[in-house]
């Protein structure tokens, strides 16, 4: 049985898109491969698969606590593997790629984010931010060019990486959604009532990390403009993150419920889903919202601009434009038939194009070809 080492700087108990991706694919991959993980020590993790935990530095970069540079521990894990499957180019992902390259091991990297877009937007310090773009771009190019193959979520992401001088072979693999789990509410009023949410008017929602690159302040400003005209509009935010982001979101009409182990009931209680992010690749949270038959308003980031069709299964707005966001929200607020039609089309798109079994099947074929 081929041994796969998953090297990641994001894992349980931290909750984010990479963690959700891994918790979906690992049980499926374990049926055909021997899986081991090397990850930061954020706390308790599942007993299986076997995990090497790396201590973290007592600092925060945005909402992220980096692992220490433990090359020896990472190298030992790499030596036991046939294929290294990197999720990040943070300390663990970067060291795993370097160790695998030196030991002539095959390396597959999944592109969950465009690092030189993500890092500067996630950091508040202007001096650091100014220097992060060229530095992170050079580091990403250096590391990703050492990989045997890059898995990307869409052709436009593949083209972007090639344009930036990253010439490793690329394979397109879409993320998936468990549409049997992420499904629309039988009764929207009951879904709201069950969670103690207002049953009058509509609920605008977001779920994910409360980090700077998500630009939740644009969402807040758009919501406030709407609420001036329509008092029965409410904003529901599901997730955890940076303290000052949470504090600024604490306004009248906004409900912050933190991280939820099961986000489905909260999605089912929403009427409109909004993503005002400055950078994404696929956005698993948007796909999950669409699977729950929610009309989505999103910035045109990454693969999102390809699978959201304007006016059919969602709406696209330019970045950092709360005025246009408020206008789009109001359009949906005033037209329930439009909300319902977009929501149905959104779910159909997910059911047709995004399935975890298809995702894992393609990844398995990639691993099998690695010699």
Domains contained in the chain, CATH given: 3-176+355-369 (3.40.50.2000), 188-353 (3.40.50.2000)
Cα-based torsion angle of the residue sequence 209, 23, 351, 338 in order, rounded to the nearest 10 degrees: -20
**The tokens of 215 are what?**
């630009």
Report DSSP letters for 37-65, one per residue: EEEE--S---SSSEEEEE-B-S--BTTB-
Q: Decide: 84 and 109 in contact? Cβ < 8 Å.
A: no
φ, ψ dihedrals at 110, nearest 5°: -95, 125
What does the pLDDT profile of the chain (371 residues) look like in tens digits?
Answer: 999 999 999 999 998 999 999 999 999 999 999 999 999 999 999 989 999 999 999 988 778 899 999 999 999 999 999 999 999 999 999 999 999 999 999 999 999 988 767 666 666 666 666 666 678 889 999 999 999 999 999 999 999 999 999 999 999 999 999 999 999 999 999 999 999 999 999 999 999 999 999 999 999 999 999 999 999 999 999 999 999 999 999 999 999 999 999 999 999 999 999 999 999 999 999 999 999 999 999 999 999 999 999 999 999 999 999 999 999 999 999 999 999 999 999 999 999 999 999 999 999 999 999 98
Distance CA 313, CA 297 (A): 9
Task: Count CB neighbours of 73 within 10 A.
Answer: 17
Report DSSP letters for 335-360, one per residue: -HHHHHHHHHHHHHHHHHH--HHHHH
- H or E segment to which residue 275 belongs: strand 272-275
Number of H helices and number of E strands within the chain?
Answer: 15, 13
Q: Decide: 84 and 7 in contact? Cβ < 8 Å.
A: yes
Placement of tokens 């995990």 in the chain: 51
Closest of 199, 242, 250, 241 to residue 220, by C-alpha: 250
Distance CA 271, CA 334 (A): 12
């Amino acid at each position: 049985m081929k041994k796969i080492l998953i090297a990641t700087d994001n894992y349980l108990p931290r909750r984010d898109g990479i963690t959700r991706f891994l918790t979906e694919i690992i049980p499926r991959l374990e049926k055909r491969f021997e899986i081991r993980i090397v990850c930061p020590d954020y706390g308790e993790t599942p007993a299986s698969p076997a995990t090497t935990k790396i201590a973290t530095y007592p600092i925060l970069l945005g909402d992220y606590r980096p692992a220490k540079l433990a090359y020896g521990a990472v190298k030992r894990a790499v030596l036991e593997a046939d294929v290294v499957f990197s999720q990040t180019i943070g300390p663990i992902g970067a060291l795993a790629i370097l160790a695998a390259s030196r030991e002539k091991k095959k390396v597959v990297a999944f592109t969950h984010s465009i690092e030189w877009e993500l890092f500067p937007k996630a950091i508040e310090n202007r001096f650091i931010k100014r220097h992060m773009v060229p530095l992170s771009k050079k580091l990403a190019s250096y590391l990703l060019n050492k990989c045997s193959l890059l898995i990307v979520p869409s052709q436009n992401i593949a083209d972007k990486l090639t344009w930036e001088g990253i010439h490793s072979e690329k394979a397109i693999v879409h993320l998936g959604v468990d549409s049997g789990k992420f499904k629309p509410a039988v009764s929207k009023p009951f879904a709201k009532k069950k969670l103690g949410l207002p049953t009058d008017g509509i609920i605008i929602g977001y779920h994910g990390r409360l980090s700077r690159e998500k630009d939740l302040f644009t969402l807040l400003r758009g919501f406030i403009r709407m609420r001036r005209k329509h008092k029965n509009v409410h904003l529901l935010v599901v997730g955890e993150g940076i303290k000052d982001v949470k504090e600024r979101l604490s306004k009248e009409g906004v409900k912050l419920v933190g991280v939820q182990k099961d986000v489905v009931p909260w999605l089912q209680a929403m009427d409109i889903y909004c993503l005002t992010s400055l950078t994404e690749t696929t956005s698993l949270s948007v796909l999950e919202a669409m699977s729950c038959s929610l009309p989505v308003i999103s910035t045109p980031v990454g693969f999102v601009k390809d699978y959201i069709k304007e006016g059919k299964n969602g709406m696209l707005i330019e970045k950092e434009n709360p005025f246009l966001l408020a206008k789009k929200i109001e359009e949906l607020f005033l037209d329930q038939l439009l909300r319902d039609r977009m929501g149905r089309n959104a779910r159909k798109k997910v059911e047709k194009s995004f399935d975890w079994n298809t995702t894992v099947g393609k990844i398995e074929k990639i691993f099998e070809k690695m010699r």
